[in-house]
Amino acid sequence: MVACSLHADQVDDNEEEKMQTIRERPRAPTLLQVKKDPVKLTALLYLREAVVAQRYEECPAFIQIAREFGAKEREIDELLEDPRRTPR
């Protein structure tokens, strides 16, 4: 019975070492990382809805919020040019 408990402890240590190795492994660089902040995405969706419904007076507020939470100019411009696009 003692051998089983020692074996279980060894397994736990091995699993912990594997997880530590995985955490320390460097990530491969990516060409494009889009930050998917929920507030940014919501502001962009509201911006799209305002443009489609022709409620242009609401657009500056949504643009300001989206920028504050990390929206890029191209994301905003794409929605203003063609509101049928889906925010990413």
Within a domain: 46: yes
Into how many domains does the chain fold?
1
For the stretch 27-79, pLDDT in tens is 555 554 555 789 999 999 999 999 999 999 999 999 999 999 999 999 999 88
Within a domain: 45: yes
Per the confidence metrics, is the pTM higher than 0.95?
A: no
Backbone angles phi, psi at 25, to 5 degrees: -65, 130
Report pLDDT for 51. 92
Cα–Cα distance between 37 and 83 in angstroms, integer?
20
Within a domain: 28: no
**Of the candidates 66, 29, 71, the residue with the CA atom closest to the CA atom of residue 46:** 66
Q: What is the DSSP letter of 4?
A: H
Report pLDDT for 1. 47
Within a domain: 43: yes
